[in-house]
């Protein structure tokens, strides 16, 4: 191992340890995957005590510009309701190393509402399948109203549009696979818009195309890397 490789490994370990402090809510949960392109529910104002709502993007995947009236921006209608606001492709998963990834998710946790979970981060430790014992830190950017308690719906491009089908509105001739589940092979990632392909490839590479693995989760402090992408940090 070279000196620089050793330094990088140490820095990664320190970064990981820094997010795993102040544990709060924890339990077992199930996971699924989705990518509907809709404006995240935590992008609306006054959902939780945060610095600002989750970043939202235009149809061409550019962050919506700040206006003099913040609520004008944050109240911009979702593309799934005919408006100009969509999820940003940067809110996709990526690998830090072979056993740890970062990303975003919709979630519904028992006895926890939007006030509690919007922009909160959770360490997921996968319990089965090809990712058993791998870990992922996700920031909640969406609330899964149609999910059961203790359920994380991981945001993975090409993961299935679900009931809203926002990607069909955002991208002409969108080829995202099945409504639930999305694309089925790594080759199908090439059919997605270019800005969605890296997150789709993550699913087949780091995530080993795992199919809804169960997790043990616990709340952790959010890594700055996730906050820098979402623009949202909890105040308590």
User: Parallel, antiparallel, or unpaired for β 26-34 and 151-155?
Assistant: parallel
User: What is the DSSP annotation of 8-72?
Assistant: HHHHHHHHHHHHS-S---EEEEEEEEE---BPPGGGSTTSSSBSSPPP-B-TTSPBPPP-SSHHH
Measure the CA–CA gap between 225 and 124, rounded to whole angstroms. Answer: 17
N- to C-terminal Cα separation, the chain: 41
What phi and psi values does residue 36 have, to the nearest 5 degrees?
-100, -5
HEC string of 159-176? CCCCCCCHHHHHCCCCCC
Count of positions (residues) in the chain: 236
Give the span between the Cα atoms of 77 and 85, in whole angstroms.
6
- Residues 158 and 201: beta-carbon distance below 8 Å: no
d(CA 8, CA 50): 31
User: Is-catalytic flag, 81?
Assistant: no
Q: Annotated catalytic, 153?
A: yes
Please list the active-site residues.
Answer: 36, 153
């Amino acid at each position: 191992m070279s000196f620089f490789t050793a330094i990088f490994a140490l820095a990664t370990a320190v970064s990981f340890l820094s997010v795993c402090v102040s544990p709060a809510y924890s339990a077992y949960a199930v996971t699924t995957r989705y990518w509907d392109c809709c404006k995240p529910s935590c992008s609306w104002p006054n959902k939780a005590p945060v610095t600002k709502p989750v970043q939202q993007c235009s149809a061409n995947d550019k962050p919506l510009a700040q206006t003099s009236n913040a609520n004008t921006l944050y109240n911009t209608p979702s593309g799934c309701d005919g408006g100009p606001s969509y999820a940003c492709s940067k809110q996709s998963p990526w690998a830090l190393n072979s056993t740890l990834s970062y990303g975003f998710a919709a979630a519904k946790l028992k006895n926890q509402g939007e006030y509690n979970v919007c922009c909160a981060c959770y360490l997921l430790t996968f319990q089965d399948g090809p990712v058993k014992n791998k870990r992922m830190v996700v920031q909640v950017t969406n609330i899964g109203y149609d999910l059961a308690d203790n359920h994380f719906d991981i945001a993975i491009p090409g993961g299935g549009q679900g009931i809203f089908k926002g990607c069909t509105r955002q991208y002409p001739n969108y080829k995202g696979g099945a409504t639930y589940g999305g694309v089925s092979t790594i080759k199908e990632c090439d059919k997605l818009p270019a800005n969605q392909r890296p997150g789709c490839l993550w699913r087949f590479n780091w995530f080993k195309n795992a199919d809804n693995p169960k997790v043990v989760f616990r709340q952790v402090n959010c890594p700055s890397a996730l906050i820098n992408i979402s623009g949202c940090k909890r105040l308590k």
